[in-house]
Chain A
Amino acid sequence: MNAASSFIKLQYLLSLLCVLLTGRAWALDADTLGILAAADTAQRIVAIEKIVNTADAAALPALEALLAGALHIGDANVIVILTPQGAVDPLTAKAVTPLPRNLQKVSINNRIRQRLNSALAALKLAAPERAVRLAAAGELQKNASAALLPLIERRIQVEQDAAVKALLLAARASLQLNAPEREVRLKAIHDLAQSPSNHTKSLLLARLGNDAVPLETDAQVRRALQSALAEVDIRLKWVGYLNHAFNGLSLGSVLLLAALGLAITFGLMGIINMAHGELLMIGAYTTYVVQILFKNYWPAAFDGYLLAAVPASFITAALVGMALERSVIRHLYGRPLETLLATWGISLLLIQTVRVLFGAQNVEVANPSWMSGGWAVMTGLVLPYNRVVIILFALFVVVLVWALLNRTRLGLFVRAVTQNRGMAGCMGIPTAKVDVLTFGLGSGIAGLGGCALSQIGNVGPELGQGYIVDSFMVVVLGGVGQLAGTVIAALGLGEVNKFLEPYAGAVLGKIIILALIIAFIQKRPQGLFALKGRSAES
Chain B
Amino acid sequence: MHTLTQLYRVKGWLLFAGALLLLAVIVPLLNLAVLPDHPLHVPDHMITLLGRILCYAMVALAMDLIWGYAGILSLGHGLFFALGGYAMGMHLMREIGRDGVYGSDLPDFMVFLDWKELPWYWYGSEHFGFALLMVVLAPGLLAFVFGYFAFRSRVKGVYFSIITQALTFAFMLLFFRNETGFGGNNGFTDFKRILGFSLADPRTKVSLYVITACTLFAVLLLCRFIVCSKLGRVLTAVRDAESRLMFSGYDPLHYKLFVWTLSAALCGIAGALYVPQIGIINPSEMSPANSIEIAVWVALGGRGSLTGAMVGAGIVNGAKSWLTVAFPELWLYFLGLLFILVTLFIPKGVMGVMSAWRSRR
Contact = CB atoms under 8 A, between A and B. Distances in A.
A338 B173 contact: no
Q: Among the interface residues A345, A346, A347, which one has the most CB atoms of the partner chain B within 10 A? A: A345
Given A332-B343, A340-B73, A522-B150, A511 B333 contact: no
A436 to B, nearest CB: 18
Contacts of A332: 343-344
Contacts of A465: 289
Interface in B158-216: 158-159, 161-163, 165-167, 169-170, 173-174, 176-177
B339 A344 contact: yes
A521 B163 contact: yes
Contact of B162 (A339, A345, A476): A476
Nearest to A514: B170
B292 A337 contact: no
Contacts of A519: 149
Interface string B273-299: 000000000000000110010011001
A469 B339 contact: no
Contacts of B176: 507
How many of chain B's residues touch chain A, expressed as a range? 35 or more
A373 interface: no
A460 to B, nearest CB: 15
A388 interface: no
A522 B166 contact: no
B153 A345 contact: no
A272 B153 CA distance: 21
Nearest to A480: B159
A5 B333 CA distance: 53
B344 A518 contact: no
A313 B23 CA distance: 53
Contact of B166 (A342, A345, A514, A523): A514
Contacts of B163: 476, 517-518, 521
A336 B157 contact: yes
B354 interface: no
B343 A338 contact: yes
B173 A507 contact: yes
Contacts of B170: 510-511, 514-515
B132 interface: no
B22 interface: no
A518 B170 CA distance: 11
A515 B166 CA distance: 9
Contact of A348 (B162, B169, B335): B335
Contact of A338 (B162, B177, B333, B347): B347
A507 B170 CA distance: 9
Interface stretch (A196-204, A212-220, A349-357): A349-357
Interface in B293-349: 295-296, 299, 329, 332-333, 335-340, 342-344, 347
A337 B344 contact: no
A521 B159 contact: yes
Contact of A521 (B155, B177, B329, B338): B155
A522 B173 CA distance: 22
B343 A342 contact: yes
B337 A340 contact: no
A508 B171 CA distance: 10
B161 A511 contact: no
Contacts of B292: 274, 341, 344
Contact of A522 (B155, B299, B333): B155
Given A342-B344, A345-B339, A514-B169, A522 B332 contact: no
B332 A348 contact: yes
Interface string A325-345: 000100110001111111011
Contacts of A517: 163, 166
B347 to A, nearest CB: 7
A175 interface: no
B340 A346 contact: yes
A472 B158 CA distance: 11
A525 interface: yes
B149 A345 contact: no
A508 to B, nearest CB: 7
B155 A349 contact: no
Given A328-B344, A356-B329, A522-B153, A341 B299 contact: yes
A473 interface: yes
Given A341-B299, A345-B335, A469 B343 contact: no
Interface string A479-513: 00000000000000000000000000001101100
Contacts of B338: 345
Contacts of A521: 153, 155, 159, 163
B154 interface: yes
B155 A525 contact: yes
A391 B178 CA distance: 34
Contact of A340 (B146, B158, B167): B158
Contacts of B165: 469, 472
Interface in B122-156: 146, 149-150, 152-155
Contacts of A331: 344
Nearest to A274: B292
A157 B344 CA distance: 79
Contacts of B173: 507, 510-511
A344 B154 CA distance: 25
A351 B332 CA distance: 8
Contacts of A473: 162, 166
A332 to B, nearest CB: 7
Contacts of A476: 159, 162-163
A518 B343 contact: no
Given A511-B170, A518-B167, A352 B339 contact: no
Nearest to A472: B162
Given A272-B158, A342-B340, A511 B174 contact: yes
Contact of A342 (B146, B154, B174, B339): B339
A274 B158 CA distance: 11
B322 to A, nearest CB: 17
Contact of B154 (A349, A351, A525): A525
Contacts of A345: 296, 335-340, 343
Contacts of A507: 173-174, 176-177
Contacts of A336: 157-158
B138 to A, nearest CB: 17
Contacts of A342: 339-340, 343-344
Nearest to A527: B159
Nearest to B154: A525
A55 to B, nearest CB: 54
A474 B86 CA distance: 31
Interface string A455-473: 0000000000100110011
A257 B307 CA distance: 44
Interface in A161-218: none
Nearest to A515: B170
A519 B153 CA distance: 11
Nearest to B161: A340
Interface string B12-51: 0000000000000000000000000000000000000000
Given A341-B343, A349-B333, A522-B153, 14 more contacts: A272-B158, A272-B161, A328-B344, A337-B158, A340-B161, A345-B296, A345-B335, A346-B336, A348-B335, A468-B288, A469-B169, A473-B166, A507-B173, A521-B159
Interface of A: 272, 274, 328, 331-332, 336-342, 344-349, 351-352, 355-356, 465, 468-469, 472-473, 476, 507-508, 510-511, 514-515, 517-519, 521-523, 525
Of all A-B residue pairs in the complex, the 4 with the closest CB atoms, nearest first, are A345-B339, A348-B336, A352-B332, A349-B336
20 contacts: A272-B158, A336-B158, A337-B157, A338-B347, A345-B337, A345-B343, A346-B336, A348-B339, A349-B332, A349-B337, A472-B166, A507-B177, A510-B173, A518-B163, A521-B155, A521-B159, A521-B163, A522-B149, A522-B150, A523-B153
